[in-house]
Amino acid sequence: MGEYLTVDGLRTYYEVQGSGGDPVLLLHGGGATADSWWGQLSQLAEHHRVYAPDLRGHGRTHDLPGPVSSALLAADLAALLTAVDTGPVHLVGWSAGGTVALHLALRHPELVRKVVTIGTGVCRAGGTEADRAMLAEENTGLLESLFRPQYEPLSPDGPEHFPVVFAKWLRMWREEPEIGLDALRGLAVPALVLQGDDDGVTIEHAAAMARALPDGQLAVVPGTSHAVPLEKPELVGRLLLDFFAEQQPRRLMPLGALTG
Render pLDDT for 49-67 as a digit per residue (tens, 0 to 9).
Answer: 999 999 999 999 999 999 9
Distance separating alpha carbons of residues 139 and 116, to the nearest angstrom = 29
Listed residue (159, 157, 181) closest to 65, CA to CA: 157
pLDDT score for 260: 65
Residue 253 in any domain: the answer is no
Three-class secondary structure of residue 70 per DSSP: helix
The model's pTM? 0.97
Residue 257 in any domain: the answer is no
Distance separating alpha carbons of residues 57 and 163, to the nearest angstrom = 11
Residue 153 in any domain: the answer is yes
Range of the domain at 55: 2-244
Question: Is 115 within 8 Å of 189 (Cβ atoms)?
Answer: yes
Residue 251 in any domain: the answer is no
CA distances from 37 to 152, 181, 202, 233 (A): 19, 27, 23, 9
- Ranges under pLDDT 70 in the chain: 260
CATH at 106: 3.40.50.1820
Which DSSP symbol is given to 45? H
pLDDT score for 15: 97
Distance separating alpha carbons of residues 199 and 203, to the nearest angstrom = 8
Distance separating alpha carbons of residues 6 and 23, to the nearest angstrom = 20
Distance separating alpha carbons of residues 3 and 14, to the nearest angstrom = 5
Residue 254 in any domain: the answer is no
Distance separating alpha carbons of residues 82 and 235, to the nearest angstrom = 31
Omega within 30 of 0 (cis) for the link into 177: yes
Residue 56 in any domain: the answer is yes
Domain count, the chain: 1
Triad 227, 232, 235: Cα angle to 5° = 130
Which DSSP symbol is given to 247? S
Residue 222 in any domain: the answer is yes
Which helix (H) or strand (E) covers residue 141, if one does? helix 140-151
